[in-house]
Structure 1
Amino acid sequence: MKTKIMIAILLVFATATHAQITKAEITATGLTCSMCSNAINKQLKAMPEVESVTTDLNTNTFTVQLKKDNQITPLSLKQRVEKAGFFVGSMIITLKLDNPKWNDKMSLTQKGHTYILVDNATNPVKDQIEAKVMDKGFITAKEYKRMSKSLSKYPTYAAGDEKTFHLKQL
């Protein structure tokens, strides 16, 4: 009996999908000058998981390259932008999946955080995906209001759980 339980546990862990963010493109709002972008840049570079940050001052976009085997989440990146005194208007992440088998609800869990693919009818899931985080605080208030109607079929969307991220694959 113990052998069967151990085999079942090993199979569950062997087929589990693990996701790691390798890159994030963050568009910040509320910036008025280059000193504002410098404050965000410093906050992002101070994170130990960050390899490099490049800034586009024309679009207020910060492209964050992350170190291999990091455990960073969209929330920790958002918190750094907010710590600098600004807000996230958009966040696009690149997720590397080591075993791209999503469950029937198109979700996976990594280190206590859940990623749910929304409106994924046309895009097959690959070993690496680029997706926009669609949750409150990761998109503009206007876009969130519009998206809450179309994503109301996901009970977790309106709940606002900080450990659940709803992703729209690009």
Structure 2
Amino acid sequence: MKKIYLMVASMIMMFSITGNAQIVKAEIRATGLTCSMCSNAINKQLKALPEVSNVDTDLNTNTFTVTFKEGNELSPKTLKEKVEKAGFFIGSLVLTAKAETINKSPYIVVNEKKNDAAEVQFQVVDKGYVTEKEFKKLSKSYKDIATYSANNEDDFHIKILN
């Protein structure tokens, strides 16, 4: 009986830990859109993710605000792949996540901004998550961060916004 209790307790702890490591919301500004049909293609790709709760689209700014279901384990790479599968690119990706998320690999914080909030808003500043022009500018700013210039697709360099 004790073994079953310990096993159940361990499983509850394991799921509660993974539940804390999650993205709550994403603001994706896409590039290359010329009409509402373009935005529909991205919208359809994002809504196909089982972790997505809702997608709101602003056609004036080409921004997609994606709300996620509780307990998801999505990475920015998944969002990038979905936008690219629709035939477009990310010009900016701003995420809101539980604070514990950014303290874990594969996130690398490029600015030292103290934040004690339960949720943190941050921008992914890697190649493919910002415009090419912005990436060139950021490469100069972050030249002292060895992993930034390595351009590893499994690392996410983030700039904390709040």
TM norm structure 1: 0.80
Residues 1:91 and 2:93 aligned together: yes
Displacement of 1:80: 0.2
5 Å-filtered alignment, 1:116-135, equals 116-120=108-112, 122-135=113-126
Give the SS at the match of 1:126: coil
Cα RMSD over matched residues?
A: 2.2
Match of 1:155 among 138, 146, 160: 146
Aligned to 1:56: 58
Q: Please list every run of 5 or more consecutive structure 2 residues that lacks an aligned counterpart in the other structure.
A: 1-12
Residues 1:137 and 2:128 aligned together: yes
Deviations 1:89-122 (A, max 9, x none): 0000011134x8x7xxxx522xxxx1011112x4
Q: Please list every run of 5 or more consecutive structure 1 residues that lacks an aligned counterpart in the other structure.
A: 1-12
5 Å-filtered alignment, 1:1-170, equals 19-98=21-100, 107-109=103-105, 114-120=106-112, 122-170=113-161
Aligned to 1:7: none
Aligned length: 147
% identical aligned pairs: 54
Displacement of 1:125: 4.7
Deviations 1:43-101 (A, max 9, x none): 00001110110000000000000111111110100100000000000000011134x8x
Give the SS at the match of 1:25: strand
Higher fraction of strand: 1
Give the SS at the match of 1:93: strand
Give the SS at the match of 1:148: helix
Contact 2:21 2:71 in 1 (8 A): no
Aligned amino acid, residue 71 of structure 2: D
Higher fraction of helix: 2
Give the ranges of 4+ consecutive aligned residues of structure 1 lying more than 4 Å apart after TM superposition: none
